[in-house]
């Protein structure tokens, strides 16, 4: 705040340094007071009267201007002027007064206090001027005797200081409110660390010397302590980024971090602050702020603490995201990439693989589940870990090894001068588990890693097809893919023709409905419409078989149209028979979103049936959302504008970008039944279902669990905060008529309970 630097001000600003001989420390800022008067005597008298004065412990710095023009220039060039003594009558009888609106609106100085002074008692400004322009005080010059002047000035400065503090707090709080949203966006510790420091600087309004200390590895996190390091740093500390916690050269910084970490609490020092953000799944985060020259006042301290509370929540979210990311891409047992990650890596490498005779394989362990049952899961786990290390050692560092299913490994490597099948000799030596030798066998399917139109998915299909031939033809444990294997599609074509005619004739296709309940009340909250197909001969075909086929050929679009209209029709019919209103979930395939008129078709089906759109919920899988996120997001917004709800189906398996949860307007997450199946009291503390419930909560989404089969699963899920369930425990998918009966029976038994 060195105003003496500015030459522009020298013309009109006179500092009476020699008169202000104050025993005040240098770094205490002075209150800036502008005296505007065309009478030189007033300047002298004011300077004299205020000499040596301290207001709230701070000295004064007087600025002087002799005309409205000088005053405007001075105010434009000087920040933080606390008070203006303003002469009303200068060039004209109200030129001083006319300056007030310019100060307020042109210069935007709303905090500066203005004291009007006039020589003539008769020129008192009208009350409304005082009110409209926020004028602090009005005095005749003769009233401004020594004491009067000082009390007036002191009151004005106090009020200026108060307004400043309030506004600063408001700005700080606004910034904090904004960071609350922004901080949630980073998905990994590093970008979170950077964002956090950015917000620290935002809070101070200038560059600060800060360091963010957090977990160096992403991944799942575990109960033990994870290694800490400097993830981001600013100012003089920038050089520390990447340094490990134990190797910090800066002694002051290291000591402060150690203290906060040991006490698990913030440490406020004279010139530094060390914030402890908490500990989640063994991961800790701390922020060090060096504040040379600026003492941490109570307001700043309060704001830092609020920001810190936001950071703490965001940090938890970041760890949560990293864990989910890990579970979405890696197998926690073997730490190998999972199927999703394997496909991604294959896609990334395909162009290069083709030229260099890379081979893709799937290795399936024979009768693994029997081994698992016979020896126990712990031994099964050990076997899988052992297979992993043998495969890695056999194939070398550049090979890709993944766990693509419970008992299957995906590999991609260059066999060089040997047969691909040679890899199976990792199974030639028995495995040793807990002192027992366990012989294991495996089958494999291989395919050339060529670029195919369908990418890695198609490639894996080829290897799978080869594998299924190896399984069918018992003579050999492995097969290499050839194009004849694909010819076997004859039966699929047949099935497709039958499906086509079922759709055309409106015969054999039916919707079943599975109840969704609130376990607390036992009431139905909704149901899911699930398609059923029974062939004319009475043989029923599972949707898992014909839906993928219909998706592959595009027939799903017509099937989807039929499903949607049929569900609408059914809701209206239920309403007419007096059933309570509940929502109905309808599965939508990716292909339907690809149709340009999808939204129009939906809205006209709604109109035709007369159904209340609030009753409808679309279920889409993560992969639909990923295909073309922008277009899907746009369509979903249009559908939501009609009143429909949207749920993410099968959530948790292979989500490629958790970011879309934020970008797409979902209402509900459906926890996939794979995560419900693995629930037991011993796993429930640290399971994916719990992570998903937490994630949903932090995003403000509803959550429902699918595939609930046992009362224990229901209880564990309810304990986690999951309020809606669907599964065989409550009811299987059933005809519309049967559901009506189910609801009525359910109602009747509740009425009985009440009696
Ligand atoms: P989904 O959307 O995940 O549907 C839930 C599936 O879980 C249904 O299988 C249901 O019968 C089954 N299920 C429900 N509760 C339990 C339980 O407690 N335990 C177990 N083990 N399973 C349970 P479903 O009816 O065979 O449907 C399979 C898939 O077919 C559906 O999975 C969905 O992806 C697809 N599908 C079904 N109907 C339609 C439809 O109308 N349109 C589209 N596009 N896809 C559909
Ligand atoms: Ca579904
Ligand atoms: Ca599902």
The distance from CA 458 to its chain's CA centroid, rounded to whole angstroms, is: 32
Section 12-16 average pLDDT: 36
DSSP string, 292-317: TT----HHHHHHHHHHHHHHHHHHHH
Confidence of residue 188 (pLDDT cuts 50, 70, 90): confident
DSSP string, 503-524: HHHT-SEEEEEEEEE-TTT--E
Section 398-405 average pLDDT: 92
Q: Which residues contact 241 (CB under 8 A, 6 or more apart)?
A: 230, 231, 232, 233
Confidence of residue 551 (pLDDT cuts 50, 70, 90): confident
Residue 604 is predicted with a pLDDT of 96
**Using a 6 Å CB cutoff, which residues line ligand 1?**
514, 530-531, 542-544, 547, 556, 560, 563, 587, 589, 649-650, 673, 706-709, 727-728, 733
Cβ pair 574, 736 in contact under 8 A: yes
Say if strands 81-87 and 60-65 run parallel, antiparallel, or are unpaired.
unpaired
Give nearest CA residue, ligand 1 atom 25: 530
Higher pLDDT residue, 509 or 96?
509
Cβ pair 708, 731 in contact under 8 A: no
**Residue 38 CB coordination number (10 Å):** 17
Q: What is the largest distance, in Å, between two alpha-carbon atoms of the chain?
A: 117
Residue 7 is predicted with a pLDDT of 33
pLDDT at 629 over 50: yes
* pLDDT tens for each residue of 466-476: 888 787 665 57
Residue 640 is predicted with a pLDDT of 96
Residue 450 is predicted with a pLDDT of 77
Residue 514 CA, ligand 1 centroid: distance in Å? 9
Section 317-333 average pLDDT: 81
Q: Among 289-293, 395-399, 544-548, 565-569, name the one with the lowest average pLDDT.
A: 289-293
Residue 224 is predicted with a pLDDT of 55
Residue 543 CA, ligand 2 centroid: distance in Å? 11
DSSP string, 237-253: GGGGTT-BGGG---HHH
Confidence of residue 488 (pLDDT cuts 50, 70, 90): low
Taking ligand 3, which is a single-atom ion, which protein residues have CB atoms under 5 Å away? 649-650, 706
Residue 732 is predicted with a pLDDT of 97
Section 232-261 average pLDDT: 86
Cβ pair 24, 54 in contact under 8 A: yes
Q: Among 118-122, 425-429, 554-558, name the one with the lowest average pLDDT.
A: 118-122
How many percent of the chain have pLDDT more than 90? 37
Cβ pair 89, 96 in contact under 8 A: yes
Helix H, strand E, coil C: the string for 372-387 is: HHHHCHHHHHHHHHHH
Residue 641 CA, ligand 1 centroid: distance in Å? 27
Q: Which residues contact 73 (CB under 8 A, 6 or more apart)?
A: 8, 12, 65
Name 244's bridge partners.
229
pLDDT at 619 over 90: yes
pLDDT at 135 over 90: no
Residue 460 CA, ligand 1 centroid: distance in Å? 24
Residue 629 CA, ligand 1 centroid: distance in Å? 24
Confidence of residue 413 (pLDDT cuts 50, 70, 90): very high
Residue 729 is predicted with a pLDDT of 96
pLDDT at 427 over 70: yes
Q: Among 70-74, 328-332, 515-519, 622-626, name the one with the lowest average pLDDT.
A: 622-626
Q: Phi and psi of 234, rounded to 5°?
A: -135, 170
Name 533's bridge partners.
509, 541
Residue 4 is predicted with a pLDDT of 30
Residue 200 is predicted with a pLDDT of 83
Give nearest CA residue, ligand 1 atom 35: 543
pLDDT at 2 over 60: no
Residue 575 is predicted with a pLDDT of 96
Cβ pair 743, 579 in contact under 8 A: yes
Name 137's bridge partners.
115
Q: Which residues contact 488 (CB under 8 A, 6 or more apart)?
A: none
Helix H, strand E, coil C: the string for 549-607 is: HHHHHCCHHHHHHHHHHHHHHHHHHHHHCCCCCCEEEEECCHHHHHCCCHHHHHHHHHH
Among the bound ligands, the one closest to the CA of 651: 3
pLDDT at 622 over 80: no
Higher pLDDT residue, 682 or 610?
610
DSSP 193: H
Section 586-605 average pLDDT: 94
Residues 548, 549, 552, 553: is their CA dihedral positive or negative? negative
Token pair for residue 168? Answer: 């600063």
Q: Among 224-233, 420-429, 555-564, name the one with the lowest average pLDDT.
A: 224-233
Residue 584 is predicted with a pLDDT of 98
* pLDDT tens for each residue of 698-722: 889 999 999 999 999 999 999 999 9
Q: Which among 514, 530, 727 is the best mutation to test ligand 1's pocket, defined by most ligand atoms within 8 Å of the CB?
A: 530
Average pLDDT in the chain: 84
Q: Which of 184-188, 377-381, 700-704 has the highest average model confidence (pLDDT)?
A: 700-704
Helix (H, G, I), strand (E, B) or coil at 366: coil
pTM: 0.54
Residue 127 is predicted with a pLDDT of 57
Helix H, strand E, coil C: the string for 110-137 is: CCCEEEEEECCHHHCCCHHHHHHCCCCE
pLDDT at 442 over 80: yes
Q: Which of 68-77, 115-124, 170-179, 247-256 has the highest average model confidence (pLDDT)?
A: 68-77
Higher pLDDT residue, 666 or 168?
666
Residue 482 CA, ligand 3 centroid: distance in Å? 35
Q: How far apart are CA 49 and CA 42, in angstroms?
A: 10
In the chain, the domains with their CATH numbers are: 16-169 (3.40.50.2300), 183-329 (3.30.450.40), 339-481 (3.30.70.270), 499-744 (3.20.20.450)
Shortest CA distance to 706 belongs to which of 520, 540, 515?
515
Say if strands 442-448 and 478-480 run parallel, antiparallel, or are unpaired.
parallel
Q: How far apart are CA 256 and CA 267, in angstroms?
A: 7
pLDDT at 419 over 50: yes
Q: How far apart are CA 89 and CA 123, in angstroms?
A: 8
Section 420-433 average pLDDT: 90
């Amino acid at each position: 705040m060195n105003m003496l630097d500015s030459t522009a001000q020298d013309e009109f600003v006179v500092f009476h340094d020699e008169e202000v001989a104050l025993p005040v420390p240098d770094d205490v800022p002075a209150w800036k007071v502008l005296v505007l008067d065309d009478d030189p005597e007033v300047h002298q008298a004011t300077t004299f009267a205020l000499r040596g004065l301290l207001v709230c412990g701070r000295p004064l710095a007087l600025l002087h201007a002799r005309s409205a023009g000088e005053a405007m220039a001075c105010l434009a060039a000087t920040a933080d002027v606390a008070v203006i003594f303003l002469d009303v009558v200068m060039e004209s009888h109200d030129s001083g007064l006319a300056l007030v609106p310019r100060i307020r609106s042109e210069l935007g100085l709303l905090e500066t206090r203005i004291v009007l002074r006039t020589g003539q008692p008769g020129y008192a400004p009208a009350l409304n001027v005082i009110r409209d322009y926020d004028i602090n005080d009005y005095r005749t010059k003769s009233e401004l005797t020594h004491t009067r002047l000082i009390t007036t000035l002191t009151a004005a400065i106090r009020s200026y200081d108060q307004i400043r503090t309030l506004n600063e707090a408001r700005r700080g709080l606004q910034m904090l409110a904004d960071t609350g949203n922004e901080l949630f966006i980073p998905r990994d510790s590093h970008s979170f660390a950077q964002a956090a420091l950015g917000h620290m600087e935002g809070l101070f309004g200038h560059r600060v010397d800060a360091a963010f200390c957090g977990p160096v590895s992403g991944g799942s996190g575990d109960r033990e302590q994870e290694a800490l390091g400097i993830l981001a740093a600013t100012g003089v500390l920038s050089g520390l980024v990447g340094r490990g916690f134990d190797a910090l050269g800066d002694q002051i910084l290291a000591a402060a971090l150690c203290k906060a970490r040991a006490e698990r609490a913030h440490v406020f020092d004279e010139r530094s602050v060390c914030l402890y953000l908490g500990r989640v799944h063994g991961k800790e985060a701390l922020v060090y702020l060096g504040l040379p020259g600026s003492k941490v006042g109570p307001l700043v301290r309060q704001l830092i603490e609020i920001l810190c509370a936001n950071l703490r929540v965001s940090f938890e979210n970041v760890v949560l995201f990293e864990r989910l990311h890990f579970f979405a891409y890696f197998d926690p047992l073997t730490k190998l990439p999972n199927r999703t990650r394997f496909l991604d890596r294959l896609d990334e490498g395909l162009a290069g693989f083709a030229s260099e005779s890379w081979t893709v394989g799937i290795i399936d362990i024979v009768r693994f589940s029997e081994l698992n049952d016979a020896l126990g899961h712990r031994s099964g786990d050990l076997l899988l870990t052992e297979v992993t290390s043998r495969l890695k050692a056999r194939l070398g560092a550049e090979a890709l090894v993944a766990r693509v299913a419970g008992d299957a490994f995906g590999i991609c490597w260059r066999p060089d001068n040997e047969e691909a099948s040679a890899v199976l000799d990792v199974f030639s030596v028995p495995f040793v588990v807990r002192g027992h030798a366990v012989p294991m066998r495996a089958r494999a399917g291989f395919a050339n890693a060529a670029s195919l139109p369908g990418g890695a998915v198609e490639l894996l299909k080829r290897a799978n097809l080869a594998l299924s031939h190896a399984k069918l033809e018992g003579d050999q444990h492995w097969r290499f893919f050839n194009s004849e294997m694909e010819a076997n599609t004859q039966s699929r074509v047949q099935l497709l023709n039958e499906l086509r005619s079922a759709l055309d004739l409106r015969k054999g296709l039916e919707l079943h409905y599975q109840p969704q309940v609130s376990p607390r009340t036992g009431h139905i909250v909704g149901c899911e419409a699930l398609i059923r197909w029974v062939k004319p001969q009475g043989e029923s075909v599972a949707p898992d078989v014909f839906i993928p086929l219909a998706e592959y050929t595009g027939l799903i679009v017509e099937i989807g149209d039929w499903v949607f209209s049929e569900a609408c029709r059914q809701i209206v019919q239920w309403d007419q028979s007096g059933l309570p209103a509940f929502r109905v979930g309808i599965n939508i395939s990716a292909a339907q979103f690809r149709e340009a008129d999808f939204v129009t078709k939906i809205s006209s089906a709604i109109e035709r049936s007369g159904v209340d759109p609030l009753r409808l919920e679309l279920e889409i899988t993560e992969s639909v959302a990923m295909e073309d996120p922008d277009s899907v997001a746009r369509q979903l917004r249009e559908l939501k504008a009609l009143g429909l709800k949207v749920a993410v189906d099968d959530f948790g398996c292979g989500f490629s970008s958790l970011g879309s949860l934020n970008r797409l307007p979902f209402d509900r997450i459906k926890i996939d039944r794979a995560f419900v199946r693995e629930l037991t009291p011993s796993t429930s503390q640290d399971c994916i279902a719990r992570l998903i419930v937490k994630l949903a909560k932090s995003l403000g989404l509803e959550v429902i669990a699918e595939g609930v089969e046992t009362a224990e699963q229901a209880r564990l899920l309810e304990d986690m905060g999951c309020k809606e369930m669907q599964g065989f425990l409550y009811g299987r998918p059933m005809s519309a008529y049967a559901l009506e009966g189910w609801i009525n029976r359910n109602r009747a038994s509740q009425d009985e309970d009440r009696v």
